[in-house]
Amino acid sequence: MIGRGRPHLSVGDDDVVLITGATSGIGAGLAARFHARGAHVVITGRDLERLSAMAAEHPGMTPIVMDVRDPESVRRAMDDIAASIPHLTTLINNAGVQRPQDFSTQERPAIADIADEIATNFTGLVDVTSAALPLLRLAPRARVMHVGSGLGFVPLTGAPVYSATKAAVHSFTVSLRHQLRRTAVQVVELVPPVVDTPLHRSMKSAPPMAMPLEKFLDATMAGLDSGRDEIAIGLGRVSIIGSRLAPSILLGLINRDGPPR
């Protein structure tokens, strides 16, 4: 629940933070914030060149190629990470992709695009979490943070697969938190509003009411410092509350402008 928290998990020289989808947007921003606090940050993604450039910009970061859609890639990456670090203290499942899909037209949406979106946003998250838990359990205290979305509570109908995967992320997070409640591993769900990031690269301009990335990162780090299990920011919090109190009204408001955001 919003506001429920644990004692602050401070960041120090022995902290190791693993972030998926870390080469741009929220992932890159969080990587830089944890690196500035002195943590050893392991950045992962599919593009070695981009990972290497980011590591060069932030000396001390460790770049690891990992495609969350591919279980074998996840296994290799986690084996490499386990061979070089004593434990993980924070896993941030951030990798994500959003595509507009219209099932009302005669042209069928590409099944490959649908499968890719589900694998990136949900099944990959589950796989990485499962693979990382043994390393997280080695730390005296640790946490997993899943980057969800307000659209997991009230869908954007022009991006139905994305919205559905984020609803699945929320459900998985609740179950995982319950299963790990007697362990030293905290399970956190981050519920962002629309944030001005490359997730919306297909649009000509930033989505309406998009929160600036740095403002969002400030709020995220403050939420982590508070120890809360659920960090809902801006319109993300509105989506959670609205989905419970007035779901049909909020659904209409979110989707009144038509094209996906």
Tell me the two tokens of residue 140.
């005296």
Q: Supply the angle between the helices 111-118 and 160-179 in degrees, to the nearest 10.
A: 30
Active site (annotated) includes residue 185: no
Query: What region, left, alpha or beta, does residue 6 occupy, with left being phi > 0 and alpha being psi -120 to 50 degrees?
Result: beta
Report helix, strand or coil for 17: strand
Q: Which of 34, 122, 153, 162 is catalytic?
A: 162
Residues assigned a catalytic role = 162
